[in-house]
Amino acid sequence: MKIYVCPTYDVMSKKAADVMSAQLILKPDSVLGLATGSSPLGLYGELVERCERGEISFEKVTTVNLDEYCGLSPDNDQSYSYFMHKNLFDRVNIRPENVHLPDGTNTDAEAETKRYDALIASVGGVDMQLLGIGVDGHIGFNEPADHFSVGTVRVALTESTIEANSRFFASEDEVPRYAYSMGCGTILNADKILFIANGKNKAEILEQAFFGPVTPQVPASLLQLVADKVYAFVDAEAGALLAANHPEEVILV
Ligand code: F6R
């Protein structure tokens, strides 16, 4: 695994944008797997600016997002669909029909998980998957469990995730308890994985995920199995334990 420890969130975001831009330049019709949350905001801002300057184009790009809350429709401002439109899709030249997320309004979990897997297969799989990590080690919404998911799943969010995500809602009670998430198997099948993490609350879980045992209790630890295709950009706070305890394994940016 290539782990790049960047001095700041801004540098992390710019470097990640460099990698994603290179992907779009090399393969203009890329399928991008995308994530929501605080970690990619800077990266998305960079991509928007580069697109405005004509340096990159989303004209032929297809996207599949990692996850969506169950019960929220795309026009709900807490939905991941809303987040993606606000922070990226509505600000670049992507075709609306090429944008895909799980449908949080579909109450038939079996049908929705199958539909999303079929959709990902129909676009030929993911060329570059963007990933953040939860403080509990989740990737997508694959929470710590006793087994790894393969395809898309409907998951019950853990207390730690509900608490972490309550910052975006009026109260913790309003955080949906379930979500649809791309499965760990699909994530690992992406051609390349662009991983980002920032902030000191990610430092411990990053060390566990990258250097601890591979276990479904830390879903991100799976990335060790596909280390060759993972490019991890973290800021100095998130990367503090990686840099201190595994200096030979990190690249200081
Ligand atoms: C979001 C997602 C999550 C986040 C993770 C980190 O689509 O799949 O796994 O990447 O919860 O969230 P932030 O970036 O807000 O710390």
In the reported structure, the alpha carbon of residue 196 is separated from the centroid of ligand 1 by a whole-number distance in angstroms of 10
Q: Which residue ranges have their beta carbon within 6 Å of ligand 1?
A: 35-39, 66-67, 132-134, 138-141
Mean pLDDT value across residues 80-85: 98
pLDDT tens digits, residue range 17-64? 999 999 999 999 999 999 999 999 999 999 999 999 999 999 999 999
Q: Which atom of ligand 1 is nearest to the CA of 39?
A: 14
- 168 — pLDDT class (breaks 50, 70, 90): confident
- Whether residue 161 has pLDDT greater than 90: no
In the reported structure, the alpha carbon of residue 206 is separated from the centroid of ligand 1 by a whole-number distance in angstroms of 13
Q: Whose CA is closest to atom 8 on ligand 1?
A: 140
In the reported structure, the alpha carbon of residue 36 is separated from the centroid of ligand 1 by a whole-number distance in angstroms of 6
pLDDT of residue 51: 98
- 142 — pLDDT class (breaks 50, 70, 90): very high
Query: Would you please indicate which residues are annotated as catalytic (active-site) residues?
Result: 67, 136, 138, 143
**pTM summary value:** 0.97
Going from the C-alpha of 38 to that of each of 167, 196, 251, the distances in angstroms are 11, 10, 23
By mean pLDDT, which of 127-131, 156-160, 177-181 is the weakest?
156-160
Quick count: other Cβ atoms within 10 Å of Cβ 130? 26
pLDDT of residue 165: 87
**Partners of 183 in beta bridges:** none
In the reported structure, the alpha carbon of residue 134 is separated from the centroid of ligand 1 by a whole-number distance in angstroms of 6
Residue 204 neighbours by CB under 8 Å, 6+ apart: 241
| Helix segments in 124-158, DSSP class H | none
**Partners of 245 in beta bridges:** none
Q: Whose CA is closest to atom 3 on ligand 1?
A: 140
Nearest to 234 by CA among 1, 18, 7: 7
| Beta-strand runs (E) in 132-252 | 153-156, 178-181, 192-197, 230-235, 250-252
Q: Which atom of ligand 1 is nearest to the CA of 161?
A: 11
pLDDT of residue 252: 97
Q: Whose CA is closest to atom 2 on ligand 1?
A: 140
By mean pLDDT, which of 31-45, 139-153, 158-172, 225-239 is the weakest?
158-172
Nearest to 204 by CA among 142, 148, 133: 133
In the reported structure, the alpha carbon of residue 164 is separated from the centroid of ligand 1 by a whole-number distance in angstroms of 10
- 158 — pLDDT class (breaks 50, 70, 90): confident
- Whether residue 160 has pLDDT greater than 90: no
What DSSP string describes 17-52?
HHHHHHHHHH-TT-EEEE--SSTTHHHHHHHHHHHH
Q: Which atom of ligand 1 is nearest to the CA of 181?
A: 8
Q: Whose CA is closest to atom 15 on ligand 1?
A: 37
- 123 — pLDDT class (breaks 50, 70, 90): very high
pLDDT of residue 167: 86
Going from the C-alpha of 114 to that of each of 4, 141, 177, 227, the distances in angstroms are 36, 17, 21, 28
Q: How many residues does the chain have?
A: 253
Q: Which atom of ligand 1 is nearest to the CA of 65?
A: 7
Going from the C-alpha of 24 to that of each of 54, 57, 88, the distances in angstroms are 12, 7, 15
